[in-house]
Structure formats: structure tokens, C-alpha cells
Amino acid sequence: MSLFHVTRESDIPLVGCLYFGVVDRGSNLLQIRPSCGCNLSCPFCSVDAGPSSRSRVTDYQVDLDYLMEAVREIAPFKGPGVECHIDSPGEPMLYPDIVELVGRLKGIGEVSVVSMQSNGTRLDEEMIRSLEEAGLDRINLSMHALDPELAAYLAGRPGFDVQGLIETAENIAKSRIDLLIAPVYIPGINDQEIPKLIDFAIRSGAGKRWPPLGIQKFEHYRLGRSPRGVRAENWWHFYNRSMPQWEKEFSLPLRLKAQDFEIEKRPMIPTVFKRNEKTKVEIRAPGWVEGEQLGVAKNRVVSVVDCPKKEGSVRVKIVSNKHNIYVAVPA
């Protein structure tokens, strides 16, 4: 797998792509994606990330100064009270400038909250302290099981140190950084672990300002991984059967709402391409998966599936434009 550095000189915009840059889904929360590599190979990964990936051919890493230029341009458009959530189709802690990124995001006037997702494997005491000093407000920590054997399986790494992850969670909770435990519920796999994780979140001191738990629903994705024999619940069952039983057991609200995080609808960055619109893009980078290339037009990235060229101009048809994330096919 190759690593592509996205810089100002690469002339690749930081809006339009799911893999890196800034994602605006029409609220006061901006997803900040500085990189997309991962060090785990979870068997339920929605994007087939990590060392055992069979589909990904390119990882991306955005130059810090270039990324900050984009956030500083977009944040005033969103207005005051912005949350910058550092996430990734991978593990954000692999980004080498993560601490400086947190500090610089906190320095933007419109930004009131900086949060981050993490699998916790790179969050030792020194790093937690550095992120705390930089102003990080919350870590959404991926913990899917406390049983050592099951935790190793769900991390896709034999010998995965779940005890170390438990200590990491406790250290976060003791700091000024708020802790949110974020397990993925996988029916038939970690059913018995979810109540243990809820109990652990309560005991550890998670949820000082925000909810202590953010239980996620397992989904099947076209390019993702799925444990053998697992069927995803439908949303009705998840919200009306699975979650209520745990809420009753622990007397704790688990069905979260945007209001729990002070997330509200805001105008979205204007869409520049309509669905089914035909346009010409300039190929600037290899795609995330084989056969894909990243093109540029109208200061947006366009992911071109089954692209016939690796350089030059390509005429394409936009097939998806949701949330300013553009996917196209050759026209």
C-alpha cells in the first residue's frame, strides 16, 4: 500500500473526498480527516482498513498547514459553536502531527469543541497528557469487548492488550478529557460484552460532560468486512429491542440524540455538482481502491470509479453528491 501526501502543492482540494480533508454534513460538527491509515484489522471494519486489507491500495496524509487553511476557511461559514471531530476511515492517532492539530483547531475562534475517535492503541499516559494540554475535549474510544480472547478477535490482532486498553480508558477518564466508550454491537458476537462495557463506562468515570456510551450498530458494507455468519439488525430492532433492554438494566439513556452533543443543523457548504451531471476532471492522485482515481474540478475532489486513465483529463458522470462527497463514473 502506498502513502500519498496531500499538500498545497499537490493541488488537491480538501472538500469532496470521504478519505481525507473536511467533511460537512449540514450541522455545526465538522469531520476533520488528516489521514486514513489503520494499525488494526477489525473483522467488522466498514472500510476494510488495516494490515489485512484486501481492497485498499492507497493511504493519504494531509499536510497540517494545508489542512488548517481549509478548516479556517470553513469554520466562519458554519458560525460559532463548531465541534471539530477528528476521525478517519482508520486510526487518527497515526497522524504524526495529531497533538499540534488539536491545539491549532482549539485556536480557531468559531471552534468550541475538539473531539477525536481512537482505538486507543497509541494513547499512553504521555500522549493523553499532551492531548489534554493541547485542549482535546473528548475521546470516543473504540472498545468492543473486555474478554481478552474476544477483544483480540475483534481487533484482528492476536495478543491484543485489552488490559492496556482498559487502563488507557481509566487514564482518559482521570484527565480533563471526557471519555465516551464507543463499542460496535455485533449480534451473536459481543452480546454478552455490551453490558460489561456499559458497567465499565459508568465505573471508570466516563461521561463527565457528554454521554458515557455511544453504542454503534453493526452494518454490512460493499467494501467492508463482516464476521462469518453475522447478520446486521435492522434499525427498528436495534432501537426498540436491543437498546431498551440495556437502558432498563442500567437506568441509563443509551439511544443518543444530536442534542446530547449540542449538535444542530447549519447550512452546508454549497454543492457544486448535481447527480447525473457530466463534467471533466483532472486526475491528480491514485484512488483508495484498485481501479479508482481522484480527479479535481471546481475546487472539489471527485472519486472516479473504474477510471480509464491514471493521468490527464477524464469526462465523468456524477453518481453521488451527498454531503459534498463526490463519486463519479466515466461518462
For residue 280, give the H/E element and its range: strand 278-286
Q: Is residue 155 part of a domain?
A: yes
Could you say which of 234, 261, 288 is where a domain stops? 261
* One domain for residues 74 and 132: yes
Angle, helix 193-204 to helix 162-174, in steps of 10 degrees: 30
pTM over 0.85: yes
Residues 6-26 have a mean pLDDT of 97
Q: CATH code at 284?
A: 2.40.50.140
Q: Is residue 191 part of a domain?
A: yes
Say which amino acid occupies 313.
Answer: S
CA distance 33 to 50: 16
* One domain for residues 290 and 247: no
* One domain for residues 253 and 287: no
* One domain for residues 195 and 325: no
CA distance 177 to 169: 11
CA distance 248 to 240: 12
| Look-up of cell digits 482535546 | 136
Tell me the pLDDT band of 223, cut-offs 50, 70 and 90. Answer: confident
Q: Is residue 240 part of a domain?
A: yes
Could you say which of 261, 294, 313 is where a domain stops? 261
Task: With a cut of 90, say whether residue 1 has pLDDT above it.
Answer: no
Q: CATH code at 216?
A: 3.20.20.70
Cell numbers linked to 154: 475483534
Identify the domain containing residue 178 by its residue range: 2-261
Task: With a cut of 90, say whether residue 222 has pLDDT above it.
Answer: no
C-alpha neighbours within 13 Å on the C-beta side of residue 232: 14
Integer Rg of the chain from CA? 20
* One domain for residues 218 and 283: no
* One domain for residues 256 and 126: yes
End-to-end CA distance of the chain: 29
179-212 pLDDT, tens digit per residue, is 999 999 999 999 999 999 999 999 999 999 999 9
Q: Is residue 245 part of a domain?
A: yes
Could you say which of 261, 292, 321 is where a domain stops? 261
| Look-up of cell digits 482498559 | 166
Q: Is residue 269 part of a domain?
A: no
Q: Is 90 in contact with 121 (CB distance < 8 Å)?
A: no
Cell numbers linked to 158: 492476536
* One domain for residues 75 and 120: yes
303 - beta bridge partners? Answer: 294, 327
Q: Is 286 in contact with 5 (CB distance < 8 Å)?
A: no
282 - beta bridge partners? Answer: 296, 313
Q: Count of domains in the chain?
A: 2
Q: Is residue 80 part of a domain?
A: yes
**What is the average pLDDT score of the chain?**
97
Q: Is residue 273 part of a domain?
A: no
* One domain for residues 142 and 238: yes
Say which amino acid occupies 299.
Answer: N
3 - beta bridge partners? Answer: 59
* One domain for residues 293 and 156: no
Q: Is residue 84 part of a domain?
A: yes
